[in-house]
Every structure is written in structure tokens, then in C-alpha cells.
A = this chain, B = another copy of it.
Amino acid sequence: MEDKSHQEHKKYAADIDSISKAQARIKPYVHITPVLSSETLNSIAGKSLFFKCECFQKGGAFKFRGASNAIFSLDDEQAAKGVVTHSSGNHAAALALAAKLRGIPSYIVIPKNAPKCKVENVKRYRGQVIWSEANMQSREETANKVLHETGATLVHPYNDGRIISGQGTLSLEFLDQVPQLDTLVVPISGGGLISGVAIGAKSINPAIRVLAAEPKGADDAAQSKASGRIITLARTNTIADGLRASLGDLTWPVVRDLVDGIITVEDKEIVEAMRYCYEILKVAIEPSGAIGLAAVLSDSFKRNPDFKDARNIGIVLSGGNVDLGVLWESLNNR
């Protein structure tokens, strides 16, 4: 039976060992992010909510956990040639920052529709920006071109065991800070964060419930779960610019097996959650980062009998990189 359990873990691109090793590896570089709570929001939700503030992570998002794990996993020879990635923003900035800390070059392929503040973060951390068209094919082709020219190592934003393990460190830290958590609500896009979190959290507490939060306008994960295979959307339509990616072949098995449900929310619910974060929690959050709160406050969560017994809910506020103008427009045009 022990062998079976061991084999189970090995089914995925990360396991509790790789996550624990990642935690030790990145410890000198990452912030231990605070957990906030609010009686007002508890009253609104009818639950005890604990907010893991990854918006305060270096680079402004959880992405630095995975990026620093990937960068500091490289041997010296690999590292010297630098790293390359394509990303709409937070992974890009995180990788540039981790590369800067290791003193190696980073080549960042950014789609033309990326938020301005996220591009500025890449430049601030001395990443070399290479523009692509705003579709996945152009992003990947451009990244491959850079890769062949430089010999740099590709660090995919989510479909990479080192990234999944790095993001998983969040769950070890969170359960250490709030051991009584019975439910985690985690944004889902490509699935790197929730894969690492689900593997990590369920290794510590197999009974914990792990739920994904996804925009209705980019609900590929919900459709994938429903149909039992990876569904890719031809187009997405959501204010949550960080949640438009599709699941990868390394993240899908974890989402399929270990994620207990996917809550889809409307953009207007995301904006309302952003406002709560701003006005009540006093935390500056991007739309993608606020979706976990939006999910918990949504009717589809509240009315789901499966979630009735959730009492102590951990919500990952995953990122804070928002253009102030975009925030203001979205709050005003609800």
C-alpha cells in the first residue's frame, strides 16, 4: 500500500518532496506573505475567510515562487545562457526578477495586449522584452526563436514541474499559518498554482477541499473537468487578464484528480470582489487576484450543498499588478 501511495504521487510533475525542496531552495529569496482577515467580510460570506496575500510577494504575485525555484534549480552552465519565457505579465516579471537575483539574462516574450504595469515590472527587473502577437501560437513561436538564438532555457509559465513545485510552496506556508483551513479557493488559468497547491495541501491534509475559481469568459478548466479532457477555447473574454491561459499536459492530470470543484464567476462579480479587497481589506489587487473572493461570495458557491460544511476558507489573493486607470474604469463601469 505504501508503494501505491508513492506511485500515486509520482503520477504528477510535482510531489510533496519536490515542493518541500522548492521551499528550502527559494526561502532566501521569497517573502513569507501575511494572511489577513476581516470580520466584515466574514459577515458578508457567512464563513471565516483567510486571505493569503500573494500580492505582497516579490514581483507582486505568487509567480515569483515558481520562477525562483526554476531559476535556482539550473546548473551554472545552463544558467549562464539565461532563461526565456512568454507570459502576459506576472510570470514574466517574476522570472526577470529571479534571473536578476541570480545574475543571469532573461528574455521575455510579451503579447502586445499585456497590461502596461506588468510590462514595466519586467523592465524594472531588467528583463529583455521581445514583443509577440496576442495569441498563444505567436507567443510560442517567438519564444522558440529566442531560445534557439541564445541557448537559453525555456521556463514555461505553468506547464513545468519546477514551476508547479514552486507555486506549491504557498500551500505549505498557508497551512502552517492557518492550520484549521478546511477549504482552499485558488485562481485557475494554466493550472500551475492550483496543481502545486492541491498536491502540497492534500499531502499535509488529505481531507482538505481544493476549489478553483475561474472567469465565465475563460472557463476552459470547468469545461475540461466536465468533459474529462483538456478543452482549449478559441477565444476568451474577461477582465481577468491573468486567467486566460489553457491547462497544460502536466497540470491537467492534477486538476482532473485533485481539484474538488471549479467555481465560475462573472466579471462583475470579480470587480465587486476587487472593490471589497480595496475598501475593506485595504489590499490593492488585480482582477485575476480577486477572483477567489468573488467565487466564495457567488451564488453558485453559496447554493452548492457540497460546500455547505466549509467553515475556514483560505483564499489566495494571487496578484496585485493592476493599472490604476484600468481599476478605476472597471469599478466605475459596473
Which residues of A does B touch, CB under 8 Å? 31, 34, 36-37, 39-40, 53, 55-56, 58, 60, 117, 124, 275, 278-279, 281-285, 320, 324, 328, 331
Give Cα distance in the complex from A278 to B283, angstroms. Answer: 8
| Nearest-Cβ distance from residue A220 to partner chain B, whole angstroms | 28
Give Cα distance in the complex from A60 to B36, angstroms. Answer: 12
A328's contact among B34, B58, B324, by CB below 8 Å, is which? B324
Copies of the protein in its oligomer = 2
Give Cα distance in the complex from A39 to B320, angstroms. Answer: 16
| Nearest-Cβ distance from residue A47 to partner chain B, whole angstroms | 19
Give Cα distance in the complex from A71 to B60, angstroms. Answer: 38
Give Cα distance in the complex from A79 to B50, angstroms. Answer: 32
Some 22 contacts from A to B, beta carbons below 8 A apart, are A31-B37, A34-B36, A36-B56, A39-B58, A40-B124, A55-B282, A56-B281, A60-B282, A117-B279, A275-B324, A279-B284, A279-B324, A281-B284, A282-B283, A282-B284, A282-B285, A282-B320, A283-B283, A284-B284, A324-B328, A324-B331, A328-B328
A324's contact among B34, B60, B278, by CB below 8 Å, is which? B278
Give Cα distance in the complex from A31 to B281, angstroms. Answer: 12
| Nearest-Cβ distance from residue A40 to partner chain B, whole angstroms | 7
Give Cα distance in the complex from A37 to B58, angstroms. Answer: 9
| Nearest-Cβ distance from residue A286 to partner chain B, whole angstroms | 9
The 5 closest A-B pairs by CB, nearest first: A282-B320, A34-B34, A55-B282, A282-B284, A328-B328
Instruction: For A39, list chain B residues within 8 Å (CB).
Output: 58
Instruction: For A320, list chain B residues within 8 Å (CB).
Output: 282
| Nearest-Cβ distance from residue A93 to partner chain B, whole angstroms | 11
| Nearest-Cβ distance from residue A263 to partner chain B, whole angstroms | 24
Q: What residue in chain B is nearest A38 (Cβ atoms)?
A: B58
| Nearest-Cβ distance from residue A62 to partner chain B, whole angstroms | 12
Instruction: For A117, list chain B residues within 8 Å (CB).
Output: 279
Give Cα distance in the complex from A324 to B117, angstroms. Answer: 19
Give Cα distance in the complex from A282 to B90, angstroms. Answer: 14
Among A275, A324, A331, the one with the most B-chain Cβ atoms within 10 Å of its Cβ is: A324
Give Cα distance in the complex from A40 to B56, angstroms. Answer: 13
Q: Are B282 and A278 in contact (CB under 8 A)?
A: no
Give Cα distance in the complex from A284 to B275, angstroms. Answer: 11
Among A31, A278, A285, the one with the most B-chain Cβ atoms within 10 Å of its Cβ is: A278
